[in-house]
Every structure is written in C-alpha cells, then in structure tokens.
A = this chain, B = another copy of it.
Amino acid sequence: MVSARKAFDMTAMKWWGWGPEGVQFTHEDKPDLAPFITEVLGIAIGKPTEKPVPFDDLTIPPSNVPDGLRADLDAALGTAFVSVDPLDRVVHARGKSLRDLILQRRGELSRVPDVVARPGSEDEVTVLMQAAVIWDAVVIPFGGGSSISGSLEAAAGEARPVISVDLERLNKVLAIDSSSRLARVQAGVFGPDLEEQLATQGYTFGHFPDSFEHSTLGGWIATRSSGMQSDRYGDIADLTRGLRVVTPSGMLVVRAVPATATGPSVREMVLGSEGRLGIITEATVHVRPIPERRTILGYLFPTWADGLGAMRDIAASECSVSVTRVSDPHETQFSFASRVRPTVLDKLQSRALRIFLQRRLGYDLDQMCLSFIGYEGSEHHVAHQRRAVGKLVKRHGGLCIGSGPGALYDQKKFDIPHIRDFLLDRGAPGDVSETAMPWSRLLPVYDAVSAAASGAFAEVRVQGYLMCHLSHSYHSGACLYFTFAFRPTARGDLLAEYDVVKSAIQQAFVDNGATLSHHHAVGTEHARWLEQDISSPGVEMLRALFDGTDPRGRLNPGKIVSAGEQAPEPDRQRRPEALYPDDWGDLSPAGGNLPASGE
C-alpha cells in the first residue's frame, strides 16, 4: 500500500439521468446556444417541458433473494453492504444509454436486480461468486453505471436471483512500481479518485473518457474504453498489463508482463468482456510521471478534408502528440454556439478573425473546421512538437488560434453527457455513435453516415442534426465520433424514431468497412451488428469462450452475444464471404482520398 488515500466523495448518479442529483447542463450562460438549437432542430429552448415520473410512482418489482443467499451475502460482506433498497436497486438496473434514459424517465423499469452487493475485498468477491454458484444467481458487475450500450441490464425474463455487484469499495491504488512505471490498482476506483491517488506519488494514468467522473477502471477494461489523450497514453487495452478476475472456477491471474507469446491473449479476452468471464477486481496498469507541460492548442482548417488530412499526416510523421481532434463544419458551428458568455472583446476578436479568415485566407466560414491538438512532456519536447505539427497544419491551410479555445475545451470536456438530459428535458433525443476505420475510409464512411442519417430523419419525418469529430488517431486510421439529435414527431414513439436514426448510423458503419464501436462496447444495444462486423465465425468464437467458461450462463448473460441462440454446428460447409475491404483495387497507390500534405 503505497498511497495514503483520501476518501473520495462519490455520489451515485440519478436513477433517470447523467451525473448526481442537482448537477445539470445549462444553456443560460451560453447566449448563442438556444437560437442555434432552435434553428437546427426547430425546438424552442426555455425551461424544461418534460420530467421523469416521480420515483414514488414507480412500480418496483419486489426483491427476490432466497433467504440462504441473503444470509451468505450478509455473512460475507456485512449487512451494511448488502442492499435491497428500492432506489439502490433502480439505480443499478440500467446504464445510461439514451434508451435507458428514455425508459427510466417513463418509469418503464427493466428486470431490476434483486440485491446490490458491495464487496470490500477480493476475498469477499470470491465468496460472493461462490454464493452465486450455490444459489444459482446471476452476477452483473457494476462500476460507475455509465454504460451506454446496455451492458448492465438483466434479461427481461430472468427467473434466477440477480445480484448487481457494485465495486465502489475496491478503490485503492495498492502499489506503484516506479521502475516499471506500473501501478496495481483495484478495479472499482473512479477516474478522479484514481488520478488523485496517483498524483500524490507524482504519477498520472492519463485515461480521460467523456465518462471519466462517473466510470471506473474495471468498467473501462470491461468495455475497451478510450480516453481523450489516448493518442499519447494508449487505449485501455494498451494501458492494462496485469489482471485479476474472480471467476466461478477460481482466480484468473494475468501476469503484468509487457508482452507474451502464450497463445491467444487471455488479457485481451478479459478486455471488453463486460462481466461475461467474471468480475475484474484488480489491474496492473501503466502509469507515467505527471508531465512538466500539458497544453491543448486550437486550430482552424478551411475544410473537413483538410482537417482530416492534417491529422493523418501528423499520425504518419515523427511527431508525438496527446490529442488529435477535428470537428466537421456542423460540430464546429455547434462549438462556436456553445461559447460561455463571450465578452465584448471576445466578440470583436472573433469578428476580426472571421474577416481575416475570409479575406486573407479565403476560408468559406460554413466549411471551416475547429481542431484541437494536445502536447505533453518536457518544455523542450512540447515546443519542438508544436513547431513540427505547425508545419503540417500549414500545409493543409490550417491556422493556430492559440491555447484559449483548448483550455476551454479541456474544462468543458466532461459536460457532454449531460446534454442528452438537457435535450430530453425538452422532449428531444440526442445521442452518439462512434466508430473506427482506415484513413482511406474516413470520408466514405462520413459521407455514408451523413446520407444514412438524412435518410432516417426523412423516413421518420423529423428535423434532425448530425455532427462529427475525429477523436483519436492511429497509425492506420482514426475514430470518427458522431453526435445526432432531432425534434421528434408529436404523435410518434420517441424511442422508435430514435431507433430508426441510431440503427441507420450503425448500419452505415458496418456496411462501409468501419467497426460498430470504437470504445463504447457491444452490450445489448450494439449486439445486432456484431456478426456483420466480426463475421459469423468470430461470433462463434466469442460464444464458445463464454459458453465454455460459464456453461450455466450466470455471468452477465446475454451481453455481447445472445445466450438464446444455439451455436451453429461448426462443421457445416460454407463458402467464404465477400472480401473485405473489397474496394482496395480502386485506391490510387499514391495516396488514397485524403488531400496529400502540400504536394
């Protein structure tokens, strides 16, 4: 135990929305936002018009815990950590997908867990697992409850007792090996608490997903999370070396080695397993000394293709950066409309900048794209990288607008999930879908998603808005992160209309060579596209893994691959599917379809 831990003031999120009670997004300090939303969605933004049903009006099914199971849990964990409190059970019944939010607000509860258990040690998790086996209960691990893929909800007809295992008490940094830049950390620690504990020793983990304030290390691992600075630190799959997982057949221990050739990677089976292989209790993860300097600079690009081309060229260069982000023109306009109380000086500068961009640089302001690029390290390193990146940006017609917008972005970065509640309060659904693909596929996927969303908006006859940013760059490709919202019809079913739009976007991903999710996992909400993404034998491999290690289906059943369907007879004869990607033959060997850097 290296770290002297400061108690963390974690407050459970609302049972119907993001963040703790009393914390919400507001437009009142953003004078341009209401007019913008009114224009693009046709919604008047005033006070909230919609409210969740009162908690007291909910019909909460009674808790179904056999006395023996209850006694075993009480004995192992202590009665204070075995809860059948109705609010506690409802909070643990679902994650925070838009579907979850809509249904919870309506009071349409899911199969609410029968009991919420809060083990205080790995040994207690083990005893809990043994009790679940003895009493034939279903076990659903719960970190921050921020899943937006339906990973936390028990199956509607589940007849067995359902235990939601909340890991919040496993929240300590156990040891730091400074020579190896590794830390042993309990899986239930929340993002801010983890950073706080590491900071006392001079370290950072560097993993900052949008959900950072309300998600845990174990949750990040179980869902293959990615953070805002993953360009530098790596995704959670890169950051996680060792693992300890309580399974029904004992402790799964993955050694914290930097690399290994011991067959298919067991480490990579736990990553993204969403509780289907056991309960992650501990991980040994990369840490780094807090950098001397951290900065995020704002840039503008004349077009989306220029912005994407610059990010690709940075990824292909000898530069190392911590953030690569560029918004399409729609999201750029949203960002400008979201500015907090601009001063008169801000407005003058902004007007001067617009004139400069139009008259001197020939920008079309409707096509202009806002970008953020982050730098970390020694002063010397940061200065060197800024200069090198600056040259690449310039080749794509880009312009640095300084550190002000970046600092603002850095402050506001965890606000985004609150906006869904803000819109639902006004009757409008808004959600996100993200994907990854090779660089050469970025524009085709973007165009396909734009067309799919437009088609879906038209199909359900709604006014909608779609915007996008590139959020992560890799050697061979990037993540595109789409946000959409619409004004629902007066008489239609909000959820059905949402589903048409969300499905059209996801379908466009898998139809165009992209993956169904870059960092939001599969759960139940993405499961229907899984076979199109990883192919039928890929689904069969996952099913073999889950069914073989958990034949009774007690570990968060139904997530990622459905439990109902039998695995097909593996010896059946089938011809190979179409080649993927099947259109490479058309690519110019000289450079794909993004503008080349200054050539």
Task: Please give the residue numbers on chain A whose beta carbons come within 8 Å of chain B beta carbons, in ascending order.
Answer: 1-2, 122-123, 126, 130, 133, 174-182, 184, 201, 223-226, 235, 237, 241-242, 244-266, 268-274, 277-278, 286, 312, 316, 318, 320, 377-378, 381, 436-441, 472, 474-479, 513-522, 526, 530, 533-538, 540-545, 547-552, 560-561, 567-577, 579-581, 584-585, 587-594
Contacts and interface: CB of A to CB of B under 8 A. Distances in A.
A534 B251 CA distance: 10
Question: Which among A126, A224, A251, A437 has the highest number of chain B CB atoms within 10 Å?
Answer: A251
Contacts of A580: 242, 253, 255-256
Contact of A589 (B178, B226, B474, B551): B178
Nearest to A247: B537
- Give the oligomeric copy count: 2
The 9 residue pairs across chains A and B that have the minimum distance between CB atoms:
A179-B592, A544-B548, A258-B474, A268-B268, A251-B576, A180-B438, A258-B477, A224-B261, A250-B574
A122 B126 CA distance: 47
A263 B274 contact: yes
A322 B581 CA distance: 31
B549 A585 contact: no
A23 to B, nearest CB: 27
Contacts of A522: 261-263
Contact of A518 (B259, B516, B561): B259
Contact of A548 (B244, B547, B593): B547
22 contacts: A126-B576, A178-B591, A179-B591, A181-B475, A225-B261, A237-B265, A248-B571, A249-B568, A253-B580, A256-B580, A259-B474, A259-B479, A261-B517, A262-B272, A263-B561, A265-B265, A266-B541, A268-B269, A320-B320, A541-B545, A544-B545, A544-B547
Nearest to A241: B476
Contacts of A175: 584-585, 587
Given A249-B571, A253-B535, A438-B182, A259 B472 contact: yes
Nearest to A291: B318
Given A248-B571, A571-B249, A587-B177, A266 B534 contact: yes
A251 B537 contact: yes
A571 B270 CA distance: 19
A566 to B, nearest CB: 12
A573 B133 contact: yes
A125 to B, nearest CB: 9
Given A263-B522, A522-B263, A542-B264, A584 B272 contact: no
Contacts of A252: 535, 537-538, 541
Given A270-B264, A570-B549, A573-B133, A181 B518 contact: no
Contacts of A521: 261-263
B223 A261 contact: yes
Contacts of A585: 1, 175
Nearest to A537: B252
Most B CB contacts (10 A, CB to CB) among A181, A262, A272, A587 go to A262
Contacts of A530: 262-263
